[in-house]
Structure 1
Amino acid sequence: MSLRPCHRLCRPGDIARVRSEGRRIFAAAFVLFIRPAPELTGECAGPPRVAVAVSRRVGSAVERNRVRRRLKELFRKHLGRLPPGTDLVVSARAEAGRVEFGELEAQFNRALGRWRNTRGRAASDETH
């Protein structure tokens, strides 16, 4: 199943903004760039969106496309865990082509967990 167009981050300017302003979370198979939900930045909230970047270091075109499909599926599967308006850019590392889907999902869950933990701490720091 593919991502709906409203969940795709397509414009180069939007992707560059997420990469520069978003939080970086490193995993063995990918780097996750997450830009906070718009209610924190003053923009109007829309659905969570994702862009997936897979370089040639990952492998052949067949391998890169498989990694891209897997990463998009992880986003689709965990869409409900993301606040509205959250933008993600997932940049695959060379390791991504050699990792099983279950391990990729575990890494994705850990990365989202780390983001949620630091996001909660930042919000509590602002209230004190």
Structure 2
Amino acid sequence: MTFPFSHRLTRRREFNDAWNRGKKYHTDHFIIIIRDNMVGPTRLGITVSRKIGGAVQRNRVKRLLREVFRIHYLSIKPCVNISIIAKKESPSLSYGQVLSEIKYLLTS
């Protein structure tokens, strides 16, 4: 399975809606915001600012988060918008660490 465009949050108002009305969870390396979208597939939006590091580090964090979402898509609660904001130490994480940190929140 790929990560299709229909499973992505792309517009600023979608991110803002999740931020303003969603439930926020803080982990050591991420802020995860979950908002019911009532209709449509579960969608993911990722925010990684330049404070995290250079383009290589930011893209690595995004790839790891998309891969966790893609592989565990069927076990994630349906019909929600998920916005994940990376914190400063997130580029040093491995795939297993990212998975263990966010899987519980995504599947509950």
Could you state the TM-score of these two structures normalised by the residue count of structure 1? 0.78
The superposition leaves residues 50-106 of structure 1 with CA deviations (integer Å, 9 ceiling, x where unpaired) of 110001121111110110111111111111122332100000011110111101100
* Aligned position for 2:95: 101
The residue aligned with 2:7 is 7
Structure number having the greater strand percentage: 2
Quick one: distance in 1 between partners of 2:43 and 2:26? Answer: 19
Contact 1:37 1:84 in 2 (8 A): no
4+ residue runs over 6 A deviation: none
Identify, as 1 or 2, the structure richer in helix.
Answer: 1
In the TM superposition, residue 112 of structure 1 has moved relative to its aligned partner by 2.8
Q: Distance in 1 between matches of 2:96 and 2:16?
A: 29
Normalised TM-score (structure 2): 0.91
The 5 Å alignment of 1:37-48 reads: 37-38=37-38, 45-48=39-42
Which residue does the alignment assign to 2:72?
Answer: 78
Please say if residues 77 and 106 of structure 2, whose CA atoms lie closer than 8 Å, have aligned partners that are also in contact: no
Structure 1 unaligned segments of length 5 or more: list them.
Answer: 39-44, 117-128
Answer with 1 or 2: which has the greater Rg: 1
Equivalent pairs counted in the alignment come to: 108
Distance in structure 1 (CA, Å) of the matches to 2:2 and 2:24? 25
Identity of aligned residues (%): 31
Once superposed, what is the RMSD of the aligned Cα atoms?
1.5
Letter in 2 for 1:46: G
